[in-house]
Amino acid sequence: MTARLHTLSNGVRVVCDPMPGLRTIAVTVAVNGGARMENEAQSGWSHLLEHLVFKGAGDMGAREIVERVEAEGGSINAATGYERTSFDIRALKGSLPLAMQVLSDLVFRPTLAPEEIEREKDVVAQEIAEAFDTPDDHVFEMAQTRAFVGQALGRPILGSIASLAPVERETIGDWRRRLYSPDRMVVAVSGGVDEDELLPLAEAWFGHQTATPTEALPPAVFVGGEARLARKIEQANLVFQLPTIGARDERLPALRLFTEILGGGMASRLFQSAREDRGLAYAIDAYHETYDDLGLLGVYAGAGAERSVELAELCAAEILDLAERGPAPQELARAKAVLNASLWMADESPASRAGRNAGQTLVFGAPVSSEATAARIEAQSAEDLRAVGREMAATGRSASAVLGPRGAGGAGAAFRAAMLAAGG
């Protein structure tokens, strides 16, 4: 493993991950915080802030930020999640000084001009409307809300027009100091990077800011329930979710394999049974989301309204069968091969490595070698997958969302009934 972890005096952690022979670098600045830190009145502030820092930072205006990066052949991006906010630059190796300066200015020295705040509220309002108008986006938001009713994890990352309305320069500036606090931050660089160049730059651009204390987050609780929204569209969009383990749980490799076997590809159980054997859905897949203290196993499908209940019952049956009987040897072997291939392919990408190193440092305190990850995947047995599956099924709890024609409305109740019966 080439990644080496360093910690600056103010708590910023720096991961240097050289990849010999590469002429490019990937720089990720990630903070341990996002929409989950918000109360109801602050919903969407983290995402709005991520937008606002690009409107001006340091001595740069909005246009100059991207022009400086692109003038050296680079690209810049950012993302806000529930528990993480990240900023990324992909560039040629000689652009490391510029990348470090630009990212430091974004997180520590944004202009936050009042006129830009008001303008960007309008932009985010359009983004909120776009998400609502996109059924296969909005249905996930509906399911998330039912899974975590009344909690930060159950509110949209985008927030609402009402929650963004009071934001002004002072309030969003205070929020920036909390969210982008140095002790919550990781700077990860992969590719054509040299430690002797990186560490002085990290100290100069990230080592002199003061941390802002934050209170501990309350534990999340999976509540569950059914959400329905009737719309005059051709297809029903369905999401079914179950509570499961979190990102720090040592059983996570078993959950990843369970998810892959259930609905991770064209050879998966759901694809074969729902699409190939019965023609119930054009698109169907399984996924998992892991947060600090718990997670979700989910299934998404697009189906005709008249067969949505049948599809919901099939999804529940496949989950329960995999949990009860476990995977066949060839299924487990396929899933391990898929996860390992994904792991090693990502290992060849500086951007993937920088993002992974940053995320692992935030969760585990240090990067985890790919060899160690592969060994944990390979060590999983059929019984390990059964144990994770049985634990999910035993709760009897689920969250569902159905968006589409009225005739699909019973799909959520059908899935819930099947899982309740299994939970005893």
- Digit-coded pLDDT (tens) for 365-414: 999 999 999 999 999 999 999 999 999 999 989 999 999 999 999 999 99
Rounded Cα–Cα distance for residues 227 and 225 (Å): 7
Dihedral of alpha carbons 188, 191, 194, 198, sign: negative
Q: Is 174 helix (H, G, I), strand (E, B) or coil?
A: helix
Cβ atoms of 253 and 377 closer than 8 Å: yes
- Residues 151-201 have pLDDT tens digits of 999 999 999 999 999 999 999 999 999 999 999 999 999 999 999 999 999
Burial of 214 from C-beta contacts in 10 A (0-12 / 13-18 / 19+): middle
pLDDT of residue 329: 98
Confidence of residue 8 (pLDDT cuts 50, 70, 90): very high
- pLDDT of residue 359 exceeding 80, the answer is yes
CB atoms within 10 A of CB 59: 10
State the amino acid at position 151 in one-letter form: Q
pLDDT of residue 278: 96
Residue 96, H or E segment: helix 96-108
pLDDT of residue 1: 57
Model pTM score: 0.96
**How large is the average pLDDT for residues 219-232?**
96
Cβ atoms of 258 and 388 closer than 8 Å: yes
Rounded Cα–Cα distance for residues 120 and 123 (Å): 5
- Residues 319-356 have pLDDT tens digits of 999 999 999 999 999 999 999 999 999 999 999 999 99
Cβ atoms of 177 and 46 closer than 8 Å: no
Q: Is 175 helix (H, G, I), strand (E, B) or coil?
A: helix
- Residues 307-317 have pLDDT tens digits of 999 999 999 99
Report the percentage of the chain scoring pLDDT > 90. Answer: 97
pLDDT of residue 420: 86
Q: Is 108 helix (H, G, I), strand (E, B) or coil?
A: helix
- Give the domains, in start order, of the chain with CATH numbers: 4-206 (3.30.830.10), 225-423 (3.30.830.10)
Torsion, Cα 355 356 362 363, to 10 degrees, reads 150
